[in-house]
Amino acid sequence: MRALVVAALAAVLLAQHTPQPPPEQPIPYSHKKHLSLGLQCKNCHTNPDPGETMGLPATSVCMGCHKTVKAGSAAIQKLARYHAEKTEAPWVRVYQIPSYVFFSHRAHMESGARCQTCHGEVAQRDVLFKETDISMGGCMSCHRLNKASVDCAFCHEPRQ
């Protein structure tokens, strides 16, 4: 299985479509900068039960450091304002599939896929953009390579 998933990595990256420009985010958060501090994905993306989503971090996670770190910066003051108002930062989604598609992060992680397989080299990015193909074609080609099902009902509610 693992070897097949590695083969799929090449396939997914090759299936790269025209990369889309990064959306403008409310706060200029950099994955590259924060991962170089030694943080891990799971510090901010927790995959709560039943394991479908990875989630986005609450402002309280950020404020654990930013109450003091760079507290004078305009970007951090904006972050602190969201936190004080008990609202989450309105992050603009980069990878999003329609709600009529079934998808579970946990099932894919358990099959040996890695974050980079589907999201590219996040740790090298200052800003994230949609750089891999998570369209139906992208899902299907990895399923074919890994002998996972490509039945319509596997990923979609059966239609009447």
Residues 41-80 that bind ligand HEC (CB under 6 A): 41, 43-45, 53-57, 61-62, 64-66, 69-70, 73, 75-76, 79
Minimum distance of ligand HEC from residue 124's CB (angstroms): 10
Residue 33 as a binder of ligand HEC (CB under 6 A): the answer is yes
Note if the bond before 26 is cis, omega within 30 degrees.
no
User: From residue 37, how far is each of 56, 70, 159 by CA, in Å?
Assistant: 19, 15, 48
Chain positions 79 to 98 lying near ligand HEC, rule: CB under 6 A, are 79, 91, 93-98
Taking residues 104 to 133 in sequence order and writing x for each that binds ligand HEC by CB under 6 A, - otherwise, the string is xx-xxx-x-x-x-xxx--xx----x-----
Query: How many residues interact with ligand HEC (rule CB under 6 A)?
Result: 71
Residue 6 as a binder of ligand HEC (CB under 6 A): the answer is no
CB atoms within 10 A of CB 97: 13
Nearer to ligand HEC, 16 or 102 (CB): 102
List of long-range contacts for 123-126, beta carbons under 8 Å, 24+ apart: 123/31, 123/32, 123/35, 123/36, 124/32, 125/30, 125/31, 125/32, 126/30, 126/31, 126/32, 126/33
Residue 10 as a binder of ligand HEC (CB under 6 A): the answer is no
